[in-house]
A and B are shown apart, each in its own frame.
Chain A
Amino acid sequence: MALLEVRNLKKIYTTRFGGNHVQALTDVSFSVEAGEYVSIMGESGSGKTTLLNILAALDKPTSGDVLLSGKDMTKIKDKDISAFRRDNIGFVFQDFNLLDTFSLKDNIFLPLVLAGKDYKEMEQRIKPLAEKLGITDILKKYPYEVSGGQKQRAAVCRALITNPQIILADEPTGALDSKSTDQLLHLFGKINEDGQTILMVTHSVKAASHAKRVLFIKDGVVYHQIYRGNCSYDEMYQKISDTLTLLTTGGDRNA
Chain B
Amino acid sequence: MRRSLFPSLAWQNIRKNAKFYLPYILTIIGTVAGFYIITAIASDEGVAKLRGAAYVKLMMSLGINIICIFAVIFLLYTNSFLMKRRHKELALYNMLGMEKRHIAWLLCCESLYVGVIGIGGGLLCGILLHKLVTLALFKLLRFDVPFGFTVSIEAIKASAILFSIIIAITLLFNLVRIRKAKPIELLKSSSAGEKEPKTKWLLALIGVLSLGAGYYIALTTKTAIQAIMIYFLAVFLVIIGTYCLFTAVSIVVLKQLRRNKKLYYKTKYFIGISGMLYRMKQNAVGLANICILSTMVLVMVSGTLSLYLGTENMLDRFCPGQIVPQIAINNETENRFQKDIIIENIKDIISKNNGKITKLENYTYLAFAAGRGENYYHTTITEGFNAGFVQLCFITGEDYAKFTGKKVDLEENEILFFSDTLKDKENLRIEAGDYSFEFTIVKRIESFPSFGDITAIVDTGYAVVKDDEVLQALYKGQKSAYGEAASDIKWVAIIDTDLNEDNQLKCAREIGNLFSADSMGVCKEFLVNTRVENSTDFYAASGGFLFLGLFLGFLFNMATVLIIYYKQISEGYEDKERFEIMQKVGLPKKEIKRSINMQILIVFFAPLIVAAIHVAFDFRLMIQLLSLFSLTNNKLTMLCTLGTLLGFAVIYGIVYWLTARTYYKIVSAE
Binding site for B on A (CB under 8 A): 58, 79, 81-83, 85-86, 91, 93, 97-103, 106, 109-114, 116, 119, 122, 142-144, 158
Contact = CB atoms under 8 A, between A and B. Distances in A.
Given A113-B265, A116-B267, A144-B194, A97 B584 contact: yes
A86 B581 CA distance: 13
Interface stretch (B272-280, B298-306, B471-479): B272-280
Interface of B: 194-196, 261-262, 265-267, 270, 274-275, 277-278, 578, 581-582, 584-591
Given A113-B265, A114-B267, A119-B262, A99 B581 contact: yes
B277 A111 contact: no
Contact of A114 (B274, B581, B587): B587
A143 B584 CA distance: 17
Contacts of A122: 265
A93 B584 contact: yes
Given A119-B261, A119-B265, A83 B578 contact: no
Given A106-B274, A119-B261, A100 B194 contact: yes
Contacts of B261: 119
Given A109-B265, A113-B266, A158-B585, A142 B195 contact: yes
Given A101-B277, A119-B265, A82 B195 contact: no
Contacts of A110: 270, 582, 585
A102 B586 contact: no
8 contacts: A82-B589, A91-B585, A101-B274, A103-B196, A110-B585, A113-B265, A119-B262, A144-B195
Contacts of B265: 109, 112-113, 119, 122
Contact of B586 (A86, A98, A142): A86
A83 B586 contact: yes
Contact of B582 (A99, A106, A112): A99
* B194, B261, B265, B274 pick with most chain A CB within 10 angstroms: B265
A144 B262 CA distance: 26
A97 to B, nearest CB: 5
A98 B194 CA distance: 12
Chain A: interface secondary structure?
Answer: helix
- Across the A-B interface, give the 4 residue pairs with the lowest CB-CB distance, nearest first: A86-B586, A82-B588, A101-B278, A113-B270
Nearest to A97: B581
Contact of B585 (A83, A97, A143, A144): A97
Contacts of A142: 194-196
Contacts of B194: 100, 142-144
B196 A99 contact: no
B37 to A, nearest CB: 46
Given A97-B581, A116-B267, A122-B265, 7 more contacts: A91-B584, A101-B275, A101-B278, A109-B270, A143-B194, A144-B195, A158-B585
A86 B274 CA distance: 21
A142 B193 CA distance: 12
A114 B584 contact: no
Contacts of B587: 82, 114
B295 to A, nearest CB: 30
Contacts of A144: 194-195
A109 B587 CA distance: 13
A114 B586 contact: yes
Contact of A82 (B266, B270, B274, B586): B586
A91 B587 CA distance: 13
Residue of B196, B578, B582, B591 most packed against chain A (CB within 10 A)? B196
Nearest to B266: A113
B323 to A, nearest CB: 72
A111 B585 contact: yes
Nearest to B258: A106
A122 B267 CA distance: 13
Contacts of B275: 101
Contacts of A106: 270, 274
Contact of A79 (B270, B581, B586, B588): B588
B493 to A, nearest CB: 74
A86 B582 CA distance: 11
Contacts of B195: 142, 144
A116 B578 CA distance: 20
B581 A113 contact: no
A158 B278 CA distance: 21
A94 B270 CA distance: 25
B98 to A, nearest CB: 30
Contacts of A85: 586
Contacts of A81: 588
Of A79, A81, A85, A122, most B-chain CB atoms within 10 Å:
A85
A156 to B, nearest CB: 13
B586 A113 contact: no
Nearest to A122: B265
A83 B274 contact: no
Contacts of B262: 119
A221 B563 CA distance: 53
Nearest to B274: A101
B600 to A, nearest CB: 15
A85 to B, nearest CB: 5
B199 to A, nearest CB: 15
A83 B590 CA distance: 12
